[in-house]
Amino acid sequence: MDRQLLRNGLIESSFVPPGTLRNLRDLTRYRRKLLQMSTEQKSRIHNVLQDANIKLTSYMSDVFGVSGCILLEAIMNGKSLTGSFSCKNKAKNESSSAFGCPERENPATLLTNDSSAI
């Protein structure tokens, strides 16, 4: 039945996009997937920082901006951040309390593993 309708022109054939449009769609899907993976890694890094009681988001709006990346690099290298970090909106004496770590796995090792995927 469907064959007869198709032969008589009563049913339109399926749309098959040209090769350039298919390539563009594939690139768009791949870009969306990469952005999603990047967002997942950033979320994991935020969770590691929160679990280690490192509250960078209280002192800066973008942890993955230029200054945030410098601080994350310093944390991954095991450097002490007390006294070398100045805040815009918070008091300086509060900044040193933001980097106190409870007795858990070293956040530097967790961050090193997570940040390599960004």
Is residue 79 over pLDDT 90? no
Q: Residue 78 region, left (φ>0) first, then alpha (ψ -120 to 50), else beta? A: left
Cα(81)–Cα(71) distance, rounded to whole angstroms? 8
CA distance 3 to 6: 5
Give the pTM.
0.58
Domain map (residue ranges) of the chain: 32-112
pLDDT single digits (tens) 20-45: 999 999 999 999 999 999 999 999 99
R_g over Cα of the chain: 25
| pLDDT for residue 8 | 81
Residue 87 has pLDDT above 50, yes or no: no
d(CA 67, CA 10) in angstroms, rounded, equals 63
